[in-house]
Amino acid sequence: MNPLISVVIPCFNDGAYLPETISKLAFQTNQLFEIIIVNDGSTDNNTLKVLEQLAKQTNITVLHKENGRMSSARNYGVKQAKGKFIAALDADDYFDPSFFSKALTIMELEPTTAVVTSYIKYFGNKTGNSKPRGGNAFNFLFSNQCPACAMVRKEVWDQVGGYDESMKLGYEDWEFYIRITKLHLEVHVIPEYLLCYRQTEKSTLKNHTHPNRASIIKYILEKHKDWYVACLTSLIDDKQVIYTESRIAYGTIWKLLKNRLTKKYK
């Protein structure tokens, strides 16, 4: 029987955390899944030994490829996936045991929902929590409202072409969800802390995304320029955005938007 869910886990030198992540999956209340680990060119000997041992387990497939960073690794794993749903998971994070069951129930009840995730609990070098909003395309205009760790309909993943592999510095998940919600599909966030997100010194967000935020934002804006303008037009026409001053030209609105997103002005 084909698995209902394919858990796709990119791994680059994460051997210290990967066994714990895999062991947590054994507690999921829905066990109709396969595990696909994508070794994205790891150079750490311990990681390679861990992967060798995990590959001996019957429900785990370990794929090896040259390093191409997160987008490339996720897409590589999804191409081999047999499940109807993709559970994207990082090598050092884990879901609450109830997540798969709850996410599948939502997918059944909500045909326009393409992605399901949850509130996030941080652990490791940083503790705390966050509450992404999910929702429709408008919620993704100015910021990402869904973590990369989420359940996605595979047919939708394939439809949008997966992650943009040219995005190697971060926010690739944000851009991915923009393309999904542009199809008039939605992201459902379960209002429970079901994703445990580890914070480490090798964080992509800290080391690559934040230092390069302006250039990444510029790339997203240029790639989706027509969509941004259409959304702003809709917001203005529907009077959801009210300007108290005189009419503002769209060129000016575009400039204000870029300045806001790149944090040139607060």
pLDDT tens for 54-100 read 999 989 999 999 998 999 999 999 999 999 999 999 999 999 999 99
Specify if 230 maps to a domain.
Answer: yes
Whether 159 and 253 share a structural domain: no
Whether 155 and 233 share a structural domain: no
Kindly indicate the confidence band of residue 242, based on its pLDDT and cuts at 50, 70 and 90.
very low
Phi, then psi, of 258 in degrees rounded to 5: -60, -40
Specify if 16 maps to a domain.
Answer: yes
The count of residues in the chain is: 266
Specify if 210 maps to a domain.
Answer: no
- Owning domain of residue 160: 5-202
Could you tell me the pTM of the whole model? 0.86
Q: Residue 246: pLDDT above 70?
A: no
DSSP three-state, residue 246:
coil
- Count of domains in the chain? 2
The type of residue at 264 is K
**Spatial distance between the Cα atoms of 34 and 16, rounded to a whole number of angstroms:** 22
Whether 175 and 239 share a structural domain: no
Q: Residue 37: pLDDT above 70?
A: yes
Kindly indicate the confidence band of residue 126, based on its pLDDT and cuts at 50, 70 and 90.
confident
What percent of the chain clears pLDDT 70, i.e. is strictly above it? 85
Phi, then psi, of 164 in degrees rounded to 5: -75, 110
**Spatial distance between the Cα atoms of 83 and 2, rounded to a whole number of angstroms:** 7
The pair of three-digit structure tokens given for residue 21, joined into one six-digit string: 């992540």
The type of residue at 182 is K
Whether 194 and 245 share a structural domain: no
Kindly indicate the confidence band of residue 200, based on its pLDDT and cuts at 50, 70 and 90.
confident
DSSP three-state, residue 186:
strand
DSSP three-state, residue 237:
helix
